[in-house]
Structure 1
Amino acid sequence: MLKLTLPLLQDIRSNQALDLNTKIDKTTSLFVFCTVFTLVIIPILLSANLLDLRMLDGMPIWHKPLRFAFSLMLHFLTLSLLMKLVIPKMREAKRIKWVAYAAVMSLWFELSYIIIQAAKGRRSHFNFETPIENALYGLMGIGAFFLVLISFLVGIMIWRYGYKDHSGLRYGAIIGLIVGSVLTLIFAGFMSTDPTYIKQKLTLEASVIPYLGWFKVTGDYKPAHFVATHMMQLLPLIGMWLDKAKLGNKLSNLMGKKNATVLFAFIFIALAFALFAQALYGIPFIKS
């Protein structure tokens, strides 16, 4: 992960318009705090995973908290770096700052609840067994919305108020954050409202891929959701590759950075919808 993020930081630093030595704005500081918070939590969860051998729904009980902590760390690290593509005076605009606060509170709530439920040996998701757990699961849906909304807004801010340098990084950030956010909400919506899928979640969890939790005996929306979510990190990295790597430069010269970035975006979109169709037809990502 360090090998991936350091070049991204160097690529942002190389743009003279972006001075990373200036005073950090409040919005970015919120993202940095969330990144550090999750980085502190991950070793604790790794230790719990080594010491606590309980299983839940076919997986070690601490795999889900680890998965969410790592994913949220990548999410806020990405936002921390990409906010530097927005001109300074717009980074603290009210329209994004208040959503950033909501996203921070959502992170605390979601991760805390997932960890508490794991410690209790209980499901955090698709848990309708008690009125409190049912209500908290509903609140998790609201929190997840704000976690995705903030990435969508950062993409819009880069598009409208970013440095117009026509870099692959800029195009990758805009398309990755905006399109990735929309697709994530679409697939998450299907997961949370499809009665057949919810029934499968409650009865087939023992037949899953370790750590990922994807079904091995029937279709699952999570692979499509995974591609959509991590498109937010991968497209900016591809944009950086178009800016810096020899092969990336050749492709950029042939197609143009915008067209090349759009091409990769269509590949991600096609892959996500192919996995979504696979889930609709009840075909598992990997058969047991």
Structure 2
Amino acid sequence: MIMAVAMAALTVVSAVGLLVDDRVLTGAPVWLKPLKFGVSATVYAGTLGWLLSLQRRGRRWGWWLGTAVAVTLSVDIAIVVFQAARARLSHYNREEGINQLLQPIFGRSTQVMLVAVVLLSIQLSLRNHLDRPMTLAVRGGLAVAFLGMCTGFLMIFNAQPGQLEAVKAGTGTAVGGHSVGVPDGGPGMPLTNWSTTGGDLRIGHFVGLHALQLLPLLAFALAALSTKVIALRDERTRTRLVLVGSGAYLGLFILVVWQALRGQPLLAPDLLTLGAAGGLSLATVFAAFGALGARQRAKEPVRVAHH
């Protein structure tokens, strides 16, 4: 939660930086990346803090793992802010000097964070007293969020045309990037700056990370609706709906990563992408209706979860 507060403060500072600093790096204002990291990390850290508060056993173990995630993620974001202030790339940077010190730190802290997130996911999935829908939502959210983190490695190994040759010749400083099919720094969407001319791996990164918020939010919404919708008062029905939602969200994550890897802008899908999206939507709708109808077909009495 200390990190969440710090990231909220960073968001404010970065917003001010956008207003007073007109420098541009790879086609975007230098303070746009710290702003996006600040917003995302505020939500992520706040959600993780809430999940840690649900533990009933192994709280000390959870505290250490949560601290490891907070510290390593803070180190990464500190590098992002430091490089933004210098108008230098924080990712993929092969410049000599201080960058040769920062990049290994960036890489190692990310690796430690991933290990901590995996262990923490196991910890939170097995040791809490949530009802079944929320337990499933937390597990699904953590699993997809971990996959979202792993998309960062796709960007590291996404060497763009001519980058390696330019670095060897001493005329380039970056290897890797988030754009596919076009150079980084081209036209982008408002606020997110996701590419409008090629694929963008940041989309899958964003979608994956925020499963940790959206899937538990789905479980909360279903629980709230259960006071008005009779069918949702059955805990098993809500569990099946959360399972459907988790599968649909995983499918969405895979879809946007696949679309990006094919060099395709998010807002300009081809027929193949549209067909896959349509198929995913239909499958989700049919599965949701199936989950709602399962209790009636079984002719079982409504089970109301007691808290």
What TM-score does the superposition give when structure 2 sets the normalisation length? Answer: 0.73
Per residue, is there more helix in 1 or in 2? Answer: 1
Which structure has the larger Rg over C-alpha atoms?
2
Give 1:151-166 correspondences, 5 Å limit. 151-163=117-129, 165-166=130-131
Deviation for aligned residue 1:250: 3.4
Report if the CA contact (8 A) 2:178-2:201 is conserved.
no
Matched residues, number:
251
Whether contact under 8 Å (1:173, 1:236) holds in the other structure is yes
> What whole-Å deviation, never above 9, does each CA across 1:72-113 have from its counterpart, x for those lacking one?
1111100111112210x41112xx443333323223322221
- Of 244, 247, 266, 1:263 maps to 244
- In structure 1, the residue matched to 2:204 is 224
Deviates more, 1:168-177 or 1:116-125: 168-177
Letter of the structure 2 residue corresponding to residue 193 of structure 1: F
**CA RMSD across the alignment:** 2.5
Taking the aligned partners of 1:40 and 1:252, their CA distance within structure 2 comes to 41
Residue number in structure 2 paired with 1:189: 153
Structure 2 counterpart of 1:250, from 231, 235, 255: 231
Letter in structure 1 aligned against 2:136: Y
Equivalent runs, 1:1-288 vs 2, <5 Å: 32-87=1-56, 89-93=57-61, 96-130=62-96, 132-163=98-129, 165-181=130-146, 183-196=147-160, 198=176, 203-246=183-226, 250-251=231-232, 253=234, 256-286=237-267
Could you list the runs of 5+ residues in structure 2 that have no partner in the other structure?
162-175, 269-307
Distance 1:210 1:117, change over 3 A: farther
Decide whether the 8 Å contact of 1:167 with 1:243 is kept in 2.
Answer: no
Residues 52 and 66 of structure 2 are in contact (CA less than 8 Å); yes or no, is this contact kept in structure 1? Answer: no
Q: Which has the higher contact order (CA 8 A, sep 6+)?
A: 1
Closer, same or farther: CA 122–267 of 1 in aligned 2, 3 Å: same
Aligned residue number for residue 299 of structure 2 = none
3-state SS of 1:92 partner: helix
State the TM-score, normalizing by the size of structure 1. Answer: 0.78
Q: Is this contact kept in 2: 1:35–1:77, CA < 8 A?
A: yes
Opposite residue 150 of structure 2, the aligned amino acid is I
Letter in 1 for 2:186: A
For residues 106 and 187 of structure 2, what CA distance do their matches in structure 1 show? 25
**Percent of aligned pairs with the same amino acid:** 24
d(CA) in 1 for partners of 2:115 and 2:140? 14
Query: Separation in 1 of the partners of 2:229 and 2:119?
Result: 28
Q: Could you tell me which runs of 5 or more consecutive residues in structure 1 were left unpaired when the two chains were aligned.
A: 1-31
Amino acid at match of 1:217: T
Deviations 1:228-286 (A, max 9, x none): 11111111111111211247773563962322111111111111111111112111113
SS of equivalent to 1:195: coil
8 Å contact kept, 2:144–2:209 = no
